[in-house]
């Protein structure tokens, strides 16, 4: 039977419905960008309130687009964490109420498992084992994923996530929230070689990341420029800064591919929407004859289709629904060896 996914971990309210074979029937995403823009970042209390006022409408829209009614559903999957507690509570309580009312099984999903699952949404035959790079607002993590779902953490960021580096860099450049798309757009008019930023490579074979030095380096650059120079070179600054982030991401991902002998790479999470990153990954994968999974844009940033998909996989692999599901705001990807065990506690 169709499965309904609900996502409310941060600043997107989303509901999606997947057919019994995993086909996406609908994926409605209501972004709160306009709510948070004037504050330059997500305000947790406002996020929770916006979820509350939107969620029912979003779920109804997902049902409408899938030409289904509530009674047609067979299960509900909802994001349990990680994320903002107040925001998670809205989605989880809504899902609980709906599941209880309809006597449906309710599955808790790790948001990161959702991002990982997005790689298979548009490419169901993508092979295992594979390397998965999760690049989002809160995570920059390299995993090796096995066919049985086992997930080994290979490396992660020591400080900021790639998405954070984009968002903070954009703020320094005076660009609008969210910063990633803003830098992406501006960088297209600039030359990435005009203003070069240091690549935070750490050791050559390392699978870890570090972006705080890059951020500081942008800060110093801007400090040394007057307002006119900043404006004149904004596009080149954005292009150079973006280049330093995405080069390191591509580099590390392929170090992981090579050192593990795996021939498939999936790159998921909000930052995987970045046009320069997608271009570099595509070229490199082609040159090295590596199978690459890059989700379509709609599945890169937060969405409920990926949550429904991960929930569906959990159900298929035998995870039991629990009646008293609770939010897990600081659910960690380090505990990923057995995601199902983490999720059911």
CB of 101 to Mg ion, least distance (A): 29
Q: Tell me which of Mg ion, Fe ion, ligand ATP, none is bound by residue 180, counting a contact when its beta carbon lies within the kind-specific cut-off of 5 to 8 angstroms.
A: ligand ATP
Ligand-binding annotation for 138, yes or no, is: yes
Nearest by Cα to 82 from 9, 152, 161: 9
Taking CB under 5 A as the rule, does residue 12 contact Fe ion?
no
Please, which residue, 68 or 135, has the CB nearer to Fe ion? Answer: 135
- Phi, psi dihedral angles at 110 (to 5 degrees): -75, 125
| DSSP H or E stretch at residue 292 | strand 291-293
- Considering the complex, what minimum distance in angstroms separates the CB of residue 135 from Fe ion? 10
Contacts (CB under 5 A) with Mg ion, residues 224-253: none
Known binder of ligand: residue 191? no
- Give the CA distances from residue 19 to residues 26, 90, 183, 308, in Å, rounded to whole numbers and listed in that order: 9, 25, 36, 10
Rounded Cα–Cα distance for residues 278 and 16 (Å): 25
Nearer to Fe ion, 164 or 302 (CB): 302
180 is in an annotated binding site: yes
Q: Is 136 an interacting residue with respect to Fe ion (CB under 5 A)?
A: yes
27 is in an annotated binding site: no
Least distance (Å) between residue 150 CB and ligand ATP: 21
CA distance 331 to 92: 15
Interior angle at CA 151, CA 17 and CA 300, nearest 5: 40
x/- map, 245-284, Fe ion, by CB under 5 A = ----------------------------------------
- Contact between 113 and Mg ion by CB under 5 A: the answer reads no
5 is in an annotated binding site: no
Q: Are 17 and 59 in contact (CB under 8 A)?
A: no
CB-hemisphere CA count at 13 Å for 212? 5
Strands 75-81 and 24-31: unpaired
Binder of Fe ion out of 256, 292, 302, 342 (CB under 5 A) = 302
Q: Please give the residue ranges that form the binding site for ligand ATP (CB under 6 A).
A: 10, 82-83, 111, 115, 136-139, 163, 166-167, 178-181, 184, 269-271, 273-274, 301-302
Which CA distances in Å does 213 have to 140, 301, 320? Answer: 16, 25, 44
Q: Which residues contact residue 162 at a Cβ distance below 8 angstroms, ignoring those fewer than 6 apart? A: 135, 136, 140, 209, 211, 245, 249, 271
Which does residue 163 bind out of Fe ion, ligand ATP, Mg ion, none, counting CB within 5 to 8 angstroms by kind?
Answer: ligand ATP
- Chain contacts with Fe ion (rule: CB under 5 A): 136, 302
Binding residues: 111, 115, 134-138, 167, 180, 184, 274, 302
């Amino acid at each position: 039977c169709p499965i309904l996914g609900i996502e409310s971990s941060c600043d997107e309210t989303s509901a999606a419905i997947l057919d019994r074979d995993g086909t996406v029937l609908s994926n409605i995403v209501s972004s709160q960008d306009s709510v948070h823009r004037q504050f330059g970042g997500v305000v947790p209390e406002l996020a929770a309130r916006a979820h509350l006022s939107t969620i029912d409408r979003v779920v109804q829209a997902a049902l409408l687009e899938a030409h289904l009614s509530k009674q047609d559903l067979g299960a509900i999957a909802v994001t349990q964490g990680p994320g903002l507690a107040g925001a998670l509570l809205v989605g989880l309580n809504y899902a609980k109420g709906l599941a209880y009312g309809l006597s449906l099984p309710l599955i808790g999903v790790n948001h990161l498992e959702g991002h990982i699952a997005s790689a298979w949404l548009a490419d169901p035959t993508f092979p295992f084992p594979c390397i998965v790079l999760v690049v989002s607002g809160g995570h920059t993590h390299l995993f090796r994923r096995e066919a049985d779902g086992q997930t080994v953490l290979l490396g992660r960021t020591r400080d900021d996530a790639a998405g954070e580096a984009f968002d903070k860099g954009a703020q320094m450049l005076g660009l609008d929230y969210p910063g990633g798309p803003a830098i992406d757009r501006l960088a297209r008019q600039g030359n990435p070689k005009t203003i070069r930023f240091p690549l935070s490579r750490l050791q050559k074979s390392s699978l870890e990341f570090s972006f705080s030095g890059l951020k500081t380096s942008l800060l110093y650059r801007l400090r040394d420029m007057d307002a006119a120079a900043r404006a004149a070179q904004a596009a080149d600054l954005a292009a150079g800064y973006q280049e330093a982030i995405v080069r390191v991401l591509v580099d590390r991902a392929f170090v992981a591919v090579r050192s593990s002998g795996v021939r498939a790479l999936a790159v998921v999470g909000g930052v995987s929407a970045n046009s320069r990153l997608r271009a570099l990954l595509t070229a490199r994968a082609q040159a090295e004859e590596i199978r690459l999974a890059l989700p379509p844009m709609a599945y890169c940033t937060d969405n409920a289709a990926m949550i429904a998909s991960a929930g569906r996989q959990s159900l298929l692999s035998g995870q039991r629904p629990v009646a008293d599901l609770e939010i897990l705001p600081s659910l960690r990807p380090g505990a990923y060896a057995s995601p199902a065990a983490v999720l059911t506690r």
